[in-house]
Chains A and B, each alone.
Chain A
Amino acid sequence: MLTKRQNLLETIRGGKPDRFVKQYEPFALVFGDPLMALAGPQPERGGPPIVNGWGVTMHWPEHVPGSFPVHDDEHKVLKDITKWKEVVKAPPTEAPEEDWSMIKNMAAGVDRNEYFVTVFMAPGIFEQMHYLMGMDDTLINFYEEPEAMHELIEYITDYKIRYAEQLIKHVKPEALLHHDDWGSQISSFLSPEMFKEFLLPAYKKFYGYCKDNGIEIIIHHSDSYAANLVPFMIEMGVDIWQGCLTTNNTPELIKKYGEKITFMGEIDNGLVDKEDWSKEEIEKVVEKACRSCGTKYFIPSTTMGLPMSVYPGVYEAVNDAIDKMSKEMF
Chain B
Amino acid sequence: MSKLQEVNAAVAAGKTKVIADLVQEALDAGHSAQEILDAMIEAMDVVGDKFSSGEIFVPEMLIAGKAMQKGVEVLKPHLAGDASSKLGKCIIGTVAGDLHDIGKNLVALMIESVGFDMVDLGVDVPKEKFIEAIKANPDVNVVALSALLTTTMPAMRDTVKAIRESGLTGFKIIVGGAPITQEFADEIGADAYARDAGAAAVKVKELVS
Mark each residue of chain B from 75 to 107: 1 if its CB lies under 8 Å from any CB of chain A, else 0.
000000000000000000000111101110100
**Known interface pairs A63-B97, A64-B97, A184-B178; A142-B150 also in contact (CB < 8 Å):** no
CB of A185 within 8 Å of the partner chain: yes
CB of A139 within 8 Å of the partner chain: yes
Mark each residue of chain A from 139 to 157: 1 if its CB lies under 8 Å from any CB of chain B, else 0.
1101110000000000000
CB of A53 within 8 Å of the partner chain: no
Alpha-carbon distance between A185 and B178 when the two chains are bound, in angstroms: 6
CB distance from A310 to the nearest CB of B (A): 6
Alpha-carbon distance between A184 and B59 when the two chains are bound, in angstroms: 13
Alpha-carbon distance between A65 and B152 when the two chains are bound, in angstroms: 9
A269 contacts across to B, CB distance below 8 A:
150
Partner of A275, one of B63, B96, B99, B154: B154
B60 contacts across to A, CB distance below 8 A:
191
Q: Which of B16, B62, B96, B153 has the largest number of chain A CB atoms within 10 A? A: B62
Taking a contact as CB atoms under 8 Å apart, the answer to whether B62 and A68 are in contact is no
Taking a contact as CB atoms under 8 Å apart, the answer to whether A144 and B16 are in contact is yes
Taking a contact as CB atoms under 8 Å apart, the answer to whether B62 and A136 are in contact is yes
Q: Which residue of B lies closest to A228 (CB)?
A: B54
Question: For chain B, what secondary structure do more than half of its interface residues adopt (helix, strand, loop), or is it mixed?
Answer: loop
Taking a contact as CB atoms under 8 Å apart, the answer to whether A61 and B124 are in contact is yes
CB of A102 within 8 Å of the partner chain: no
CB of B196 within 8 Å of the partner chain: yes
CB of B205 within 8 Å of the partner chain: no
B-contacting residues, A51-71, CB 8 Å: 61, 63-65, 68
CB distance from A17 to the nearest CB of B (A): 31
CB of A284 within 8 Å of the partner chain: no
CB of A187 within 8 Å of the partner chain: yes
Taking a contact as CB atoms under 8 Å apart, the answer to whether A273 and B150 are in contact is yes
Partner of A64, one of B54, B98, B102, B196: B98
CB of B138 within 8 Å of the partner chain: no
**Known interface pairs A136-B62, A275-B154, A310-B150; A68-B57 also in contact (CB < 8 Å):** no
Mark each residue of chain A from 263 to 281: 1 if its CB lies under 8 Å from any CB of chain B, else 0.
0000001100111000000
A139 contacts across to B, CB distance below 8 A:
58-59, 62
Chain B contact patch, size range: 20 to 34
CB of B133 within 8 Å of the partner chain: no
CB distance from A76 to the nearest CB of B (A): 13
Taking a contact as CB atoms under 8 Å apart, the answer to whether B59 and A190 are in contact is yes
A-contacting residues, B99-119, CB 8 Å: 99, 101-103, 105
B59 contacts across to A, CB distance below 8 A:
139-140, 142-143, 189-191, 194
Taking a contact as CB atoms under 8 Å apart, the answer to whether B62 and A140 are in contact is yes
CB distance from A195 to the nearest CB of B (A): 9
CB of A135 within 8 Å of the partner chain: yes
Alpha-carbon distance between A68 and B178 when the two chains are bound, in angstroms: 18
Alpha-carbon distance between A269 and B99 when the two chains are bound, in angstroms: 18
Kindly list 5 other residue pairs between chains A and B, CB separation below 8 angstroms, not including A61-B99, A144-B16, A185-B178: A140-B59, A143-B63, A187-B196, A274-B153, A275-B150
Q: Which residues of B does A touch, CB under 8 Å?
A: 14, 16, 54, 56-60, 62-63, 66, 96-99, 101-103, 105, 124, 149-151, 153-154, 178-179, 195-196
Q: Which residues of A does B touch, CB under 8 Å?
A: 61, 63-65, 68, 135-136, 139-140, 142-144, 184-191, 194, 269-270, 273-275, 310
Contacts A/B (CB < 8 Å), 22 sampled: A61-B99, A63-B124, A64-B98, A64-B99, A65-B97, A68-B99, A135-B101, A136-B102, A140-B59, A140-B66, A142-B59, A143-B59, A144-B16, A185-B178, A187-B57, A189-B57, A190-B57, A194-B59, A270-B150, A273-B150, A274-B151, A275-B151
